[in-house]
């Protein structure tokens, strides 16, 4: 929780950039624990669609979330190997399955713009702003919201 | 320093830091009930611990602060002044704690300044908070408590042995240490044993070492990694024949396995560790409350993962306190109730179906349902309308809601509605469940069920649709290989797969269809491995594609995103590094039972409730076939054993002379043969001066049980089968046999009816009771129109058919008996019709309510003479009126 405070206090925030379904997203680096190749993903029967499975990451059980699904982009194509961004949320380990990981960008907090009102609701629900980069737009993902609204979906 | 004291200092220090932060948050956001709950709980815990450790000064401060915060919870506006006051109280507590740490005793003095201020603020609270005087009044007893604690503290201090001395005693003592006295000693005797206990405890302490949990966790992770690496090495070695690595690798492998086992063991602790403090707490409580309490602890050796243990420690303490304070009555009250003066609190722990069950029960007064309901409505947890419809069990659940407490007086022990809330939260955290059973006057039992999460279990690794799953061994009874052409094959009754296993029919469930992972492959419905599983009294078979081996697994809790899946209790990492899900046999049992009986649940629930609430006397006998048969005892007039020589025949039918009359003998079925010599047992049914003897093979027993017909029967003379004393039993239909004895039995009564002309409208939703009572009513000389529901009854009344009296069940689906009575009364044409209620609900409340809606009489369902008497009375009234 203190982490999200950090995001707003500093003038610059570092983001780990990731590609999901052709769109560039940014995750605050303070919340990213590691980036790994998900290996031997075990599916979980009866789980919601966005739970891609569980896997063993150095002795910890990590729940893999298919970000394609989470963002309403359909199921991720199984043929391409995915990358995963490791995140700890409320003491539990999660891996967000994404397509590729890009560089780390340091962006000024005051250039972040609010989410456009016409953004797809799936995306709008989990993002907390947009940065205009030279060539493309970077959607900032709010980790808390990725999990919180996921809860409602799971419960519903 | 005393271990307990050190633990207290660490814990309280942390708690206070949190309170500081939270209070500041709270001041900014006074409407946030969550923060307030949090602070309140922390302070409550501090207070409780201080009380237990005998730190009166701290306890008094915490109590006063808590009282003020209780006011906030009741809606008193949060002022900066109040928060400042609480903060300075917390600062004072911190100062005292510092002193305590230095001197190992509470500094002298008292804090009238702060306590006075806190109390003043409580009293000055706006009148909106009605029970304002109560907390204020609670303060003085605090002072008394202070004295008590000091008195109690002294002898214990004396009993303590300095460490040096112990060390010396240890060196000088040869031979084994004396075993500590049994933990389950009555609290009163405990003080004598305390000294002994302390000594041996310390000796054990000398042989153990405190290790940081993180260190253990880390060790565990490392061992898992080691296992992975070893497995990879083994895999490589397998590919190279005659490798010189083989021997050292084998050694490495076995050492790794042992290491893994050892590390796992470090996490296990007997639950008795969490109970250690309880005898002392109970002793102090019994002094404070003036009650004699015996603490009975069973299953202290049951092993639990230490993490689970930590989390349930506080809840257990809370619950024992609650039982002592609310549950048990004062000695005088117990005496008048005819109970032993000394109340008992029983703790027991055991493994069941892959769960650890902890029960806390007391023999006190039980939960007060009416009060809980009232309070739940008052606290707006539930609406009045909703509460009316709830069952007792549902209402009892409200005690777990935040801010709920029914204790009339706030005591320092409990009664602020924090306890059960905390208990629930902690148990939820480890994915457990808590249930309460209560019977008024006999006490209440809390059952905590902790799933295997975190614990180490032996599990069977199985495969379904290409995925592996673990089934806890505890629930597994045996494994059966089913093949199409073997003795064990899977058969189907309609769509339900079953297996003939010895003399039983085992319901089966395919794991892959249950988990919805059926890939269509490898599905030979007749083949498969069947894991015979038992949960509670339910036995069923889980069909899987393959069975691998058993493995000791460390159950890890599932992610919160997966916890809603009832089929799994956790997940684990296998020796080969893969993650697999652990099947929860309870979840499966629910779905198995759900598919087979849920449908009948829905339409029988009303009847079941009746049947569930009611124990009736049943006569069990054998008549043709091994399966026992039963008949409600109330229908039987007498049991006779007659000399076979007395049996005479008339017109080919057996008869005996019985009490000056000829009584026909009827066999229950063709398989029952009249005995040729010796005595013949008979059930005698009499009515209106005529009797019938029902010939049976053997009268077995008279039992009290619930009567719940589960399988209706097509056979004439049998109403259906019910489980009685855990045996399937056929319930016979007396109405079927009566006309066999006297063909004119019903005709005769019908003829009489014309003269009497009383027609009864009998409203009863349960076919069983309809079948049972209709003949009784007929044979008593009434014409009977039966209907299955209140709406049908109203239709009959509207149709204008003659109805002289109504006999109705109360509990019926749709419109119940009360509503029917109201509807009947509301209609002018039927306003004076006598209505007799027939029900299992014969509580004073129900009778009073019945009188209000206009029942003329109220009879228990199995009280046949009572019903006939009531009918006669009503008939007489009607005659007089005519």
Distance CA B830, CA B803 (A): 9
Q: How far is B228 from chain A (nearest CA, A)?
A: 9
Q: Using the predicted structure, report yes or no on whether residue B178 has a pLDDT greater than 80.
A: no
List own/partner pairs for B183-187 with CB under 8 A and 24 or more apart.
Answer: B183/B272, B183/B275, B183/B276, B183/B279, B183/B297, B183/B300, B184/B295, B184/B296, B184/B297, B184/B298, B184/B300, B185/B279, B185/B295, B186/B294, B186/B295, B186/B342, B187/B279, B187/B282, B187/B283, B187/B286, B187/B293, B187/B294, B187/B295
At residue A55, the pLDDT reads 92
| Residues on chain A touching B559 (C-beta within 8 angstroms) | 54, 61, 63, 92, 94
| Residues on chain A touching B517 (C-beta within 8 angstroms) | 43, 45
Mean pLDDT, chain A, whole residue set: 83
Q: How far is A10 from chain B (nearest CA, A)?
A: 22
Q: Closest Cα to residue B261, out of B509, B575, B518?
A: B575
Closest-CA residue of chain B to A53: B579
Mean pLDDT, chain B, whole residue set: 74
Range scoring the smallest mean pLDDT among A39-43, B135-139, B238-242, B399-403: B135-139
| Residues on chain A touching B260 (C-beta within 8 angstroms) | none
Band of residue B790 on the pLDDT scale cut at 50, 70, 90: confident
Q: Do B567 and A154 touch (CB under 8 A)?
A: no
Distance CA B71, CA B458 (A): 51
Q: What is the CA radius of gyration of chain A?
A: 15
> Is-above-0.95 flag for pTM?
no
Which of residues B264 and A104 earns the better pLDDT score?
A104
Distance CA B160, CA A45 (A): 57
Q: Do B220 and A59 touch (CB under 8 A)?
A: yes
At residue B323, the pLDDT reads 85
Given CA atoms B382, B384, B389, B390 in this order, what sign does their dihedral have? positive
Scanning B160-186, the segments in alpha helix (DSSP H) are 163-172
> Region B141-157: what's the mean pLDDT?
36
Band of residue B171 on the pLDDT scale cut at 50, 70, 90: low
Which of residues A137 and B122 earns the better pLDDT score?
A137
Helix B844-853 and helix B817-826: axis angle, to 10°?
Answer: 20
At residue B874, the pLDDT reads 80
Q: Using the predicted structure, report yes or no on whether residue B834 has a pLDDT greater than 90.
A: no
| Residues on chain B touching A48 (C-beta within 8 angstroms) | 561
Strands A83-89 and A92-98: antiparallel
Q: Using the predicted structure, report yes or no on whether residue B265 has a pLDDT greater than 50.
A: yes
Q: Do A42 and B221 touch (CB under 8 A)?
A: no
Range scoring the smallest mean pLDDT among B449-453, B486-490, B632-636, B870-874: B449-453
At residue A140, the pLDDT reads 93
| Residues on chain A touching B578 (C-beta within 8 angstroms) | 40, 42, 56
Q: Do A42 and B579 touch (CB under 8 A)?
A: yes
Which of residues B602 and B261 earns the better pLDDT score?
B261
Strands B690-695 and B709-712: unpaired
Interface test with A, best of B224, B307, B465, B561 (most A CBs within 10 A): B561
Top mean pLDDT of A15-19, B59-63, B130-134 is at: A15-19
Q: Which residues 6+ apart lie within 8 Å of B13 measured at CB?
A: B97
Q: Using the predicted structure, report yes or no on whether residue B6 has a pLDDT greater than 80.
A: no
Q: Which residues 6+ apart lie within 8 Å of B305 measured at CB?
A: B267, B268, B269, B454, B455, B456
Starting at the edge strand found earlier in the chain, the sheet holding A12-20 runs A100-108, A12-20, A23-28, A137-141, A127-132
Q: Do A61 and B573 touch (CB under 8 A)?
A: yes
Q: Do A40 and B561 touch (CB under 8 A)?
A: no
DSSP conformational letter for B451: E
Contact B470, B533 (CB under 8 A): no
Find the CB nearest B567 among A46, A56, A154: A46
Q: How far is A38 from chain B (nearest CA, A)?
A: 12
> Region A2-19: what's the mean pLDDT?
69
Percent of chain B exceeding pLDDT 70 equals 78
Distance CA B474, CA B552 (A): 12
Query: For the segment A64-100, what is each residue's pLDDT rounded down to a tens digit?
Result: 999 988 888 877 666 667 799 999 888 789 999 999 9
- For residue B479, give Cα distances in angstroms to A14, A142, B535, B542, B591: 56, 49, 15, 10, 21
> Region B102-108: what's the mean pLDDT?
77
Interface test with B, best of A61, A86, A93 (most B CBs within 10 A): A61
Q: Using the predicted structure, report yes or no on whether residue A129 has a pLDDT greater than 60.
A: yes
Distance of CA B88 to the CA centre of its chain: 44
| Residues on chain B touching A46 (C-beta within 8 angstroms) | 515-516, 565, 567
> Region B227-238: what's the mean pLDDT?
75
Contact B312, B450 (CB under 8 A): yes
Contact B414, B288 (CB under 8 A): no
Find the CB nearest A154 among B467, B556, B561: B561
Given CA atoms B191, B364, B141, B420 in this order, what sign does their dihedral have? positive
Q: Hey, which residues does B501 pair with through a beta bridge? A: B504
Query: For the segment B284-309, what is each residue's pLDDT rounded down to a tens digit?
Result: 788 788 888 888 889 888 887 777 78
DSSP secondary structure of B132-152:
THHHHHHHHHHHHHHHHHHHH
At residue B280, the pLDDT reads 73
Q: Using the predicted structure, report yes or no on whether residue B612 has a pLDDT greater than 80.
A: no
| Residues on chain A touching B579 (C-beta within 8 angstroms) | 40, 42, 54-56, 61
Phi, psi angle pair for B591, to nearest 5° = -75, -35
Strands B303-305 and B268-270: antiparallel
Task: Kindly provide the ipTM of the predicted complex, given to two decimals.
Answer: 0.84
Scanning B676-743, the segments in alpha helix (DSSP H) are 734-741
Distance CA B3, CA A87 (A): 38
Band of residue A6 on the pLDDT scale cut at 50, 70, 90: very low
Find the CB nearest A58 among B221, B568, B581: B221
Q: Do A44 and B222 touch (CB under 8 A)?
A: no
At residue B90, the pLDDT reads 80
Closest-CA residue of chain B to A60: B221
Find the CB nearest A56 among B517, B562, B579: B579
Which of residues B212 and A68 earns the better pLDDT score?
A68
At residue B566, the pLDDT reads 86
Distance CA B137, CA B132 (A): 9
Q: Do A59 and B562 touch (CB under 8 A)?
A: no
At residue A64, the pLDDT reads 93
Find the CB nearest B221 among A48, A59, A94: A59
Band of residue B162 on the pLDDT scale cut at 50, 70, 90: very low
| Residues on chain A touching B467 (C-beta within 8 angstroms) | 42-43, 45
Distance CA B495, CA B504 (A): 19
Q: Do A56 and B573 touch (CB under 8 A)?
A: yes
At residue B54, the pLDDT reads 77
At residue B516, the pLDDT reads 86
Secondary structure of residue B342 in the 3-state scheme:
coil
Q: Do A59 and B561 touch (CB under 8 A)?
A: no
Distance CA B612, CA B614 (A): 5
Q: Do B467 and A43 touch (CB under 8 A)?
A: yes
Q: Using the predicted structure, report yes or no on whether residue B565 has a pLDDT greater than 50.
A: yes
Distance of CA B395 to the CA centre of its chain: 14
Q: Using the predicted structure, report yes or no on whether residue B659 has a pLDDT greater than 70.
A: yes
Q: Using the predicted structure, report yes or no on whether residue B680 has a pLDDT greater than 90.
A: no
| Residues on chain B touching A151 (C-beta within 8 angstroms) | 560-561
| Residues on chain B touching A63 (C-beta within 8 angstroms) | 559, 561-562
Q: Do B467 and A45 touch (CB under 8 A)?
A: yes
Q: How far is B563 from chain A (nearest CA, A)?
A: 9
Query: For the segment B480-511, what is each residue's pLDDT rounded down to a tens digit?
Result: 888 777 777 788 777 788 888 877 788 888 89
Percent of chain B exceeding pLDDT 90 equals 4
At residue B409, the pLDDT reads 45
Q: How many residues does chain B have?
A: 882
At residue B524, the pLDDT reads 60
Closest-CA residue of chain B to A154: B561
Q: Do A63 and B516 touch (CB under 8 A)?
A: no
Distance of CA B341 to the CA centre of its chain: 26
Inter-chain CB pairs, A–B, below 8 Å: 71
Q: Hey, which residues does B520 pair with through a beta bridge? A: none
Which of residues B7 and B160 earns the better pLDDT score?
B7
Q: Do A48 and B560 touch (CB under 8 A)?
A: no
Band of residue B743 on the pLDDT scale cut at 50, 70, 90: low
Q: How far is A150 from chain B (nearest CA, A)?
A: 8
Q: Closest Cα to residue A115, out of A94, A138, A149?
A: A138
Secondary structure of residue A35 in the 3-state scheme:
strand
Range scoring the smallest mean pLDDT among B190-194, B619-623, B658-662, B821-825: B190-194
Q: Using the predicted structure, report yes or no on whether residue B580 has a pLDDT greater than 50.
A: yes
Find the CB nearest B571 among A54, A65, A150: A54
Which residue in the block uniquely carries the two structure tokens 């799936």? A122
Distance CA B483, CA B489 (A): 5
Element (H, E) at B601: helix B585-613
At residue B596, the pLDDT reads 42
Q: Closest Cα to residue B732, out of B846, B625, B875?
A: B625
Element (H, E) at B823: helix B817-826
Closest-CA residue of chain B to A93: B559
Find the CB nearest B562 among A63, A147, A155: A63
Find the CB nearest B516 among A45, A56, A154: A45
DSSP secondary structure of B96-125:
HHHHHHHHSSPPS---HHHHHHHHHHHHTS
Q: How far is A123 from chain B (nearest CA, A)?
A: 20
At residue B353, the pLDDT reads 65
Q: Using the predicted structure, report yes or no on whether residue B430 has a pLDDT greater than 70.
A: no
Interface test with B, best of A5, A43, A46 (most B CBs within 10 A): A46
Residues in chain A whose beta carbon is closer than 8 A to a beta carbon of chain B?
40, 42-48, 51, 54-56, 58-61, 63, 65, 90, 92, 94, 147, 150-151, 154-155
Q: Do B565 and A44 touch (CB under 8 A)?
A: yes
> Region B261-279: what's the mean pLDDT?
78
Q: Do B467 and A90 touch (CB under 8 A)?
A: no
Distance CA B223, CA B216 (A): 10
Q: Using the predicted structure, report yes or no on whether residue B25 has a pLDDT greater than 90.
A: no
Contact B558, B568 (CB under 8 A): yes
Q: Do A59 and B560 touch (CB under 8 A)?
A: no
């Amino acid at each position: 929780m203190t982490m999200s405070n950090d995001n707003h206090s500093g003038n610059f925030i570092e983001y780990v950039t990731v590609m999901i379904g052709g769109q560039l997203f940014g995750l605050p680096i303070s919340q990213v624990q590691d980036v790994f190749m998900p290996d031997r993903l075990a599916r979980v029967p009866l789980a919601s669609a966005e739970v891609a499975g569980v896997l063993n990451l150095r002795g910890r059980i990590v729940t893999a979330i298919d970000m394609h699904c989470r963002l309403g982009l359909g199921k991720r194509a199984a043929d391409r190997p995915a990358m995963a961004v490791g995140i700890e949320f409320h003491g539990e380990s999660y891996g967000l399955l994404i397509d590729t990981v890009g560089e780390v960008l340091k962006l000024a907090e005051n250039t972040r713009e609010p989410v456009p009102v016409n953004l797809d609701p799936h995306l709008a629900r989990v993002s907390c702003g947009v940065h205009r980069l030279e060539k493309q737009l970077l959607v900032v993902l709010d980790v808390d919201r990725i999990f919180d609204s996921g809860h409602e979906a799971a419960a519903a | 320093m005393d271990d307990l004291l050190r633990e207290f200092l660490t814990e309280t220090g942390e708690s206070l830091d949190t309170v500081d932060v939270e209070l500041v948050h709270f001041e900014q956001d006074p409407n946030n009930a969550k923060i307030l709950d949090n602070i309140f709980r922390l302070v409550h815990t501090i207070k409780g611990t201080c009380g237990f450790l005998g730190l009166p000064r701290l306890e008094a401060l915490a109590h006063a602060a808590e009282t003020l915060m209780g006011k906030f919870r009741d809606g008193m506006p949060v002022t900066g002044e109040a928060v400042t006051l609480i903060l300075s109280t917390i600062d004072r507590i911190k100062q005292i704690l510092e002193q305590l740490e230095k001197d190992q005793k509470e500094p002298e003095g008292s804090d009238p300044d702060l306590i006075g201020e806190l109390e003043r603020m409580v009293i000055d609270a706006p009148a909106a908070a009605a029970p304002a005087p109560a907390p204020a009044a609670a303060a003085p007893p605090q002072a008394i408590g202070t004295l008590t604690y000091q008195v109690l503290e002294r002898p214990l201090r004396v009993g303590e042995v300095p460490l040096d001395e112990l060390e010396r005693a240890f060196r000088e003592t040869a031979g084994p240490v004396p075993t500590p006295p049994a933990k389950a000693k009555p609290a009163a005797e405990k003080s004598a044993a305390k000294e002994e206990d302390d000594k041996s405890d310390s000796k054990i302490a000398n042989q153990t070492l405190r290790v940081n949990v993180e260190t253990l966790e880390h060790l565990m992770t490392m061992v898992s990694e080691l296992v992975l690496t070893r497995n990879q090495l083994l895999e490589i070695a397998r590919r190279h024949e005659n490798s010189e690595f083989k021997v050292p690798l084998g050694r490495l492998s076995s050492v790794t396995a042992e290491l893994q086992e050892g590390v796992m063991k470090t996490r296990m602790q007997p639950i008795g560790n969490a109970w250690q403090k309880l005898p002392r707490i109970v002793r102090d409580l019994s002094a404070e409350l003036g009650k004699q309490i015996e603490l009975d602890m069973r299953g202290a050796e049951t092993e639990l993962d230490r993490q689970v243990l930590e989390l349930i420690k506080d809840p257990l303490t809370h619950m024992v306190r609650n039982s002592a304070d609310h549950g048990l009555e004062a000695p005088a009250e117990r005496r008048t109730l005819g109970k032993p003066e000394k109340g008992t609190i029983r703790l027991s722990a055991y493994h069941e179906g892959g769960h650890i069950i902890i029960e806390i029960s007391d023999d006190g007064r039980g939960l007060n349902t009416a009060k809980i309901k009232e309070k739940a409505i008052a606290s707006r947890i539930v609406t009045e309308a909703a509460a009316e419809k709830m069952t007792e069990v549902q209402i009892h659940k409200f005690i777990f809601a935040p801010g709920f407490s029914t204790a009339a007086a706030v005591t320092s022990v409990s009664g602020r509605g924090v306890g059960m809330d905390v208990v629930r939260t902690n148990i939820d955290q480890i994915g457990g469940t808590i249930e309460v059973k209560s019977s008024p006057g006999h006490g209440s039992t809390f059952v905590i069920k902790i799933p295997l999460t975190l614990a180490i279990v032996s599990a069977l690794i199985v495969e379904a649709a290409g995925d592996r799953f673990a089934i806890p061994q505890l629930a597994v009874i045996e494994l059966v290989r089913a093949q199409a052409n073997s003795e064990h094959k899977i058969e189907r009754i309609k769509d339900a797969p079953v297996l003939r296993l010895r003399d039983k029919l085992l319901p089966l469930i395919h794991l892959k269809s249950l988990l919805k992972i059926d890939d269509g492959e490898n599905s030979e419905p007749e083949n498969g491995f069947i894991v015979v599983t038992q949960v509670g009294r339910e036995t069923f078979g889980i069909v899987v594609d393959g069975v691998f081996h058993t493995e000791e697994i460390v159950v890890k809790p599932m992610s919160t995103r997966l916890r809603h899946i009832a089929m799994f209790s956790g997940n684990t990492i296998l020796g080969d590094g893969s993650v697999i899900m652990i099947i929860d046999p309870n979840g499966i049992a629910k779905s198995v039972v759900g598919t087979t009986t849920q449908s009948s649940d829905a339409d029988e629930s009303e009847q079941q409730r009746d049947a569930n609430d009611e124990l009736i006397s049943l006569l069990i006998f054998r008549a043709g076939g091994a399966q026992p048969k039963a008949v409600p005892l109330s229908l039987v007039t007498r049991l006779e054993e007659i000399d076979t020589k007395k049996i005479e025949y008339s017109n080919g039918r057996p008869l005996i002379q019985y009490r000056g009359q000829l009584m026909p003998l009827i066999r229950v079925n063709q398989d029952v043969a009249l005995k040729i010599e010796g005595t013949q047992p008979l059930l005698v049914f009499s009515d209106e001066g005529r009797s019938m003897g029902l010939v049976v093979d053997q009268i077995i027993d008279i039992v009290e049980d619930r009567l719940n017909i589960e399988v209706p029967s097509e056979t004439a003379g049998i109403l259906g089968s019910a489980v009685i004393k855990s045996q399937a039993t056929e319930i016979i239909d007396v109405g079927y046999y009566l006309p066999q004895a006297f063909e004119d039995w019903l005709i005769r009564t019908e003829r009489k009816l014309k003269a009497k002309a009383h027609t009864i409208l009998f409203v009863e939703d349960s076919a069983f009771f309809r079948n049972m009572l209709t003949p009784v009513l007929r044979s008593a000389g009434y014409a009977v129109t039966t209907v299955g529901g209140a709406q049908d009854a109203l239709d009959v009344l509207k149709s204008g058919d003659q109805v002289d009296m109504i006999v109705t069940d109360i509990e019926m689906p749709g419109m119940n008996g009360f509503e029917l009575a109201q509807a009947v009364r509301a209609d002018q044409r039927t306003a004076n019709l006598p209505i007799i209620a027939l029900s299992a609900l014969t509580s004073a409340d129900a009778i009073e309510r019945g009188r209000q809606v206009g029942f003329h009489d109220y009879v228990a369902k199995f009280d046949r003479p009572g019903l006939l008497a009531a009918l006669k009375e009503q008939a007489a009234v009607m005659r007089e009126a005519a």
